[in-house]
Amino acid sequence: MSFEYDISSQEIREVTQLVVNGEEYDAYVGESLLGFLFQNRIFSTSVNLVTKEVRFAFCGMGMCSECEMIDENGSILRICQTSIRRNMTLTSRGI
Amino acid sequence: MADESRLRGRSSNVKASKHVVIIGGGPGGLAAAETLARKGVSVTIIDENPDLGGQYYRRRTKGATELLGDYRVDGTYLIDSVKKLGCTVLTDSYVWGIASDKRSLLIENSLVGKSSRVSFDYLIIASGGHEIQYPFTNWQSTKVMTPGMLSRLVTIDAIEPIGRKAILVGSGPFLLAVASHLIDSGVFVDGIFELTRPYRLTKFSILAVFFPAKCAEFLHYRLKLLKNGVKLSQGIRLRSVQDSGQGIIAAFDKKSGGKQVVVESQLLGVGYGFRPNSELLEILNVERGESTIFGHFYPRVNRDGRTSHQNIFAIGEVSGIEGFKSAIIGGVLSGQRILRDILGVKGFRSMSITLVYYVRSVYEEMFARFLKKIYKFDLGDFPDLDPEVLLCRCEGVHASELDGVLSQCESDMAYVKSETRIGMGLCQGRMCGTALSIIVKKNDPKSVSSGFSIRMPFRPVAIGSVAALESIENRDDVDV
Amino acid sequence: MSNSDVIIIGGGILGAALAFELTKESVGVQLLDRSSISREGSGATAGNLHIQAVHTRRPGQVIALDNVRLLPLQIAASRLWDDVEDELPEDIELRRTGGLTVAESESQGEEILLKRGHEIDAGIPGEILGSDEARRLLPDLGDSVRLAEFCPLDGYVNPLKVTPAWMRAAIRQGLILRTHDEVLSISKVESSWIVKTKNGQFTCSTLVIVAGPWIDQILSMIGVSIHMNPVAIQMHVTERIAPRLPFLVQHIAEGMSIKQVSAGQVMIGGGWPAQNLALGKTSDISLESMTGNLSQAVRILPFLKNVRLLRSWTGALGATADEMPIIGEVPGHEGLFVAGGTYAFTFAPLWAKTLLDLILKRAPKIDVSDLGIGRLMNVNKSKTARG
């Protein structure tokens, strides 16, 4: 879990299970996915379709397409523009 | 029409029938939306992100807010205001095309995976810009990103970057701002490496005294850097990055020669200023503004932000002036202009607001021009790419593949693209286009810089979404 | 003044292929193009090699083409394409994995059977597949497909590679290539043609015009009046996906061609019209054609629903009023040859070898006398069929 703070003074926020490339994590619904991956040292979002290199988010604003991951519905998401939803499963695009 | 002339005297009905669509929920788009919606005009504001704010007013996540408090509260206020005033807000939505009548946008909602048309009477394009890149060896490393992303991670997502060390490379005053944010969050900045040589006292740079507020801001950054031991180098070029166990090792050189400079850090943020997200403007065929050495498309706009098309406005970064202040000014002016168009010339108060903003706009533009000269690029500042440099990140094309093609290319980006696949990938040349433009122009100085040609879709969109549009009748999606 | 045996005007696939054939036989050739090579139709086309009978009308096309007439030309071209890859040292991504043509209704099914009959007469191999068999061959086919024909000779070649490859091979054999050299005027002095461009003056004994939609403009410089009916058509390409579509998929009744290229992208076309025709500039994309073409594609290959469209573009097709190819010597003008019209891409090696024979005054291996430009010289403007 990424944040540690004084929970007594805060409202309880919804925790959900987030699966990234097969690994399970606990995460808060509504938090930034990019921030989450960064904080948990998951430096891989996509695999380049030509060079097969592992890539991570580069531009942080939806322009480079290197942060694309595929969710549980098969939709392609740009992680830098996505918030954590309930029971999300993500796989690197290009794997 | 008879009905319309009767209605003309009753302004509330006239404004009710006109619909303004704003692309981009950053400071510019928000300011325009607020200006218009406050007077009862029907507004739709579209943004790709999960919430309004753009880059500058990006909302902190809940966790970060609880940890650190709200950030740039004027942004929060503006966003709430826009929502309360009844603007239709379409978030998680990106514009990918325009219908043949040039009066409706094609947008895709990325949450539900569906496309729809959004019609407009007036269009305000406040789509911002993204950071200019110039490749170097191993720039595709996962520890390399844009300064904007680094900044957002520490200020918005409230992240502790690995080991709390980073270097900033590229060009532009933005690097100073990002360094400041990183320092404030406890990240040690191992250095700022500026390609051009703006930080010199020259006869021209003394003109900065005409912009006292900006000077103060600059000095504030400069002092912060000095206090925190952050070295500011200029006239220095990034050549390669190596992944080391702890982070990265960056190697620089100078155009004038001399020893290589090697710096170790954990993360690297690189960006050379901004290029406009102007695809829609290009497709609309608005008149082009000033060209730059990079060949980026800027629209010609007047002081109100109006392009050569009567009902299309471009404000903020996309129109060529950096900075949130300019964007807000552009938002207010374009909003005021549209109000005058729809409601007729009105009132001393409205004209005086406009006048004040005109003055501010001129001031901001003069400062922007001043900065452009201070951070002036020379084609020769950019080093020739080593053969192993990955020029096109998406399609995996290395600089070596340009051998032989350049001599035949006749300064033609399209030809280079067809021979090498550079620019044919998912980002459609956004990351590599500027660099290729520079390379082609260095190869043939007589060439007129232009980027890759722009086509719909401006962003990839599922075929199913496009096919489904066929069954949607062409109607005004938003009626008042 | 620069003198050569042959001057070719037009640097698309026809110009490149012809230059290759001529220089192979040690003929001195200069090729002129007003822009870079492969800039227009040849660079924008789908790159399909159509060997089974083609559908007769693009969307919006008024005059149906005579697809039966094309069959012997297609089988001849097919044999030549087999050799092209061997002759060119570069990889042109030539794929001859075959093509399907599908039918969704009973009457469309009958059209397929009818065309199969003509193909058998012309010696073109193919197989009729019922609904189940078609799905065994290509499980991705949508439910509406009732009947299909598979022809093993259909295929494609990468248009971005083939023209430059042919051109480079020709240059190695002695071709002089002048790009960005627009032809301004042409005159004839005795038996020599004099071609003036902005950069110089060139003479030759044989002049070949393969300038696509500009054939009429160039011919008018010689006082020959014909009317081309160019059309701007549209192509769509997706992101790269894993290999899934092993061959070309077409539709019997509607313009539709879908294939997955070597890079993994799926190209979707079929001759849908662009928004406008801006000859020499960029024609605009038509949203109606985009949604129309892509709806078709999704119906026939439903997996495409979730594949992302990456880009669209347009290109000018140098069509004629009767939608048929043009090839041969211009009547009344010795030493002046043209080639072009529809399906020029598929016919490129055939037109190149035919022109070679005609220029060297040998009997061409295939009879193309009915496809001469003479038929267009007698049609005056008011009669040309354009909507």
Measured between beta carbons, which residues in chain B are less than 8 angstroms from residue C295? 467, 470
Nearest to A64 among B50, B157, B427 (CB): B427
Give residue B480's pLDDT: 29
Is C242 touching A (CB cutoff 8 A)? no
Between CA B432 and CA A59 the distance in angstroms is 13
Nearest to C295 among B98, B419, B470 (CB): B470
* pLDDT (tens digit per residue) in B139-170: 999 999 999 999 999 899 887 655 579 999 99
Read off the pLDDT band of B348 (50, 70, 90).
Answer: confident
Give residue B347's pLDDT: 79
C181 and C194 inside one domain: yes
Read off the pLDDT band of B447 (50, 70, 90).
Answer: confident
Between CA B400 and CA B12 the distance in angstroms is 63
Specify if C237 maps to a domain: yes
Three-state secondary structure call for residue C186: strand
Range B109-114 average pLDDT: 94
Indicate if the pLDDT at residue B442 is higher than 80. Answer: yes
C209 and C240 inside one domain: no
Read off the pLDDT band of B409 (50, 70, 90).
Answer: low
Read off the pLDDT band of B448 (50, 70, 90).
Answer: confident
C143 and C241 inside one domain: yes
Q: State the smallest CA–CA distance between residue B48 and chain A in angstroms.
A: 7
Give residue A5's pLDDT: 44
C243 and C140 inside one domain: yes
* CB-CB contact of A46 with A64 (8 Å): no
Give residue C387's pLDDT: 40
Specify if C333 maps to a domain: yes
Contact criterion met (CB < 8 Å) for A55 and B460: no
Between CA C285 and CA C221 the distance in angstroms is 32
Give residue C379's pLDDT: 56
Alpha helices, H only, C221-371: 287-300, 344-359
Contact criterion met (CB < 8 Å) for A49 and C264: yes
CA distances from B200 to B195, B320, B357, C343 (A): 13, 25, 32, 63
Beta strands in B302-414 (DSSP E): 312-314, 390-392, 397-398
Contact criterion met (CB < 8 Å) for B156 and A35: yes
C304 and C173 inside one domain: no
Q: State the smallest CA–CA distance between residue C154 and chain B in angstroms.
A: 24
C180 and C283 inside one domain: no
Range B412-431 average pLDDT: 94
Give residue B14's pLDDT: 52
Give residue A50's pLDDT: 95
Range A18-40 average pLDDT: 95
Give residue A52's pLDDT: 96
- Whether omega before B457 lies within 30 degrees of 0, making that bond cis, reads yes
C165 and C145 inside one domain: no
- Residue B132 phi/psi, 5-degree rounding, is -70, 140
C346 and C292 inside one domain: no
Give residue B428's pLDDT: 97
* CB-CB contact of C343 with C50 (8 Å): yes
Specify the length of chain A in residues: 95
Q: State the smallest CA–CA distance between residue A11 and chain C in angstroms.
A: 39
C221 and C241 inside one domain: no
Looking up tokens 């966003």 gives B79
Report how far apart the first and last C-alpha atoms of chain A are (Å, whole number): 26
CA atoms within 13 A on the CB side of B393: 34
CATH assignment of the domain containing C374: 3.50.50.60
Specify if C57 maps to a domain: no
Give residue B343's pLDDT: 84
C238 and C142 inside one domain: yes
Q: What angle do CA C63, C64, C67 make, to 5 degrees?
A: 150
Read off the pLDDT band of B411 (50, 70, 90).
Answer: low
Measured between beta carbons, which residues in chain A are less than 8 angstroms from residue B153? 34-35, 38, 60
Specify if C22 maps to a domain: yes
Tokens standing for residue B336: 């005021």
CA atoms within 13 A on the CB side of C257: 26
Is A50 touching C (CB cutoff 8 A)? yes
Contact criterion met (CB < 8 Å) for B393 and A75: no
Range A68-91 average pLDDT: 96
Specify if C10 maps to a domain: yes
Sorted by where each starts, the structural domains of chain B and their CATH numbers stand as 2-130+275-372 (3.50.50.60), 133-272 (3.50.50.60), 384-443 (no CATH)
Contact criterion met (CB < 8 Å) for A65 and B49: no
Sorted by where each starts, the structural domains of chain A and their CATH numbers stand as 14-92 (3.10.20.740)
Three-state secondary structure call for residue B13: helix
* CB-CB contact of C37 with C11 (8 Å): yes
- One-letter amino acid for residue B18 of the chain: K
Last residue of a domain, one of C260, C294, C316: C316
Out of A27-31, B320-324, B403-407, C280-284, pick the least confident: B403-407
C273 and C364 inside one domain: no
Sequence-ordered list of residues with C-beta below 8 angstroms from that of B93, at least 6 positions apart, any chain: B46, B47, B48, B107, B108, B109, B110
| Strand C2-9 versus strand C200-209 pairing type | parallel
Last residue of a domain, one of C265, C290, C316: C316
Specify if C357 maps to a domain: yes
Q: State the smallest CA–CA distance between residue A56 and chain C in angstroms.
A: 19
The pTM of the full predicted model, rounded to 2 decimals, is: 0.93
C121 and C241 inside one domain: yes
Looking up tokens 């392009």 gives B307
* CB-CB contact of C148 with C154 (8 Å): no
* CB-CB contact of C20 with C169 (8 Å): yes
Tell me which H or E stretch contains C283: none
Contact criterion met (CB < 8 Å) for A5 and B61: no
Which subunits have 3 or more CB–CB pairs within 8 Å of chain A? B, C
**Closest CA relative to residue C344, chosen from C363, C310, C316, C369:** C316
Nearest to B463 among C292, C298, C311 (CB): C298
Three-state secondary structure call for residue C268: strand
| Strand C200-209 versus strand C336-340 pairing type | parallel
Which residues on chain A place their C-beta less than 8 Å from a C-beta of chain B?
2-3, 5, 10, 13, 28, 30-32, 34-35, 38-39, 41, 43-44, 48-51, 53-66, 68, 75, 77-78, 80-83
Q: What per-residue string of b and e applies to C249-288 under the rule 16 or more CB within 10 Å gives b? A: bbbbbbbbbbbbbebebbbbbbbbbbbebeeeebbbbbbb
Bridge-partner residues for A83, per DSSP?
A32
Specify if C181 maps to a domain: yes
Last residue of a domain, one of C316, C336, C365: C316
CATH assignment of the domain containing C260: 3.30.9.10
- Name the domain count of chain C: 2
Contact criterion met (CB < 8 Å) for B466 and C294: yes
DSSP annotation of C259 reads E
Specify if C49 maps to a domain: no
Query: Looking at this predicted complex, what is its ipTM?
Result: 0.93
CA distances from B465 to B94, B455, B460 (A): 13, 17, 11
Alpha helices, H only, chain C: 13-24, 41-44, 67-87, 106-122, 131-137, 159-172, 215-220, 287-300, 344-359, 374-377
Tokens standing for residue B461: 């969109």
Q: Can you give the pLDDT of all 387 residues of chain C as single tens digits? A: 568 899 999 999 999 999 999 999 999 999 999 998 998 999 999 999 999 999 888 998 988 999 999 999 999 999 999 999 999 999 999 999 999 999 999 999 999 999 999 999 999 999 999 999 999 999 999 999 999 999 999 999 999 999 999 999 999 999 999 999 999 999 999 999 999 999 999 999 999 999 999 999 999 999 999 989 999 999 999 999 999 999 999 999 989 999 999 999 999 999 999 999 999 888 999 999 999 999 999 999 999 999 999 999 999 999 999 999 999 999 999 999 999 999 999 999 999 999 999 999 999 999 999 999 999 986 554 444 444
Give residue B117's pLDDT: 97
Contact criterion met (CB < 8 Å) for C164 and B419: yes
Give residue C381's pLDDT: 47
Contact criterion met (CB < 8 Å) for B463 and C304: yes
Give residue B404's pLDDT: 83
Is C311 touching A (CB cutoff 8 A)? no
* pLDDT (tens digit per residue) in B187-236: 999 999 999 999 999 999 999 999 999 999 999 999 999 999 999 999 99
Query: Range of C280's domain?
Result: 99-152+231-316
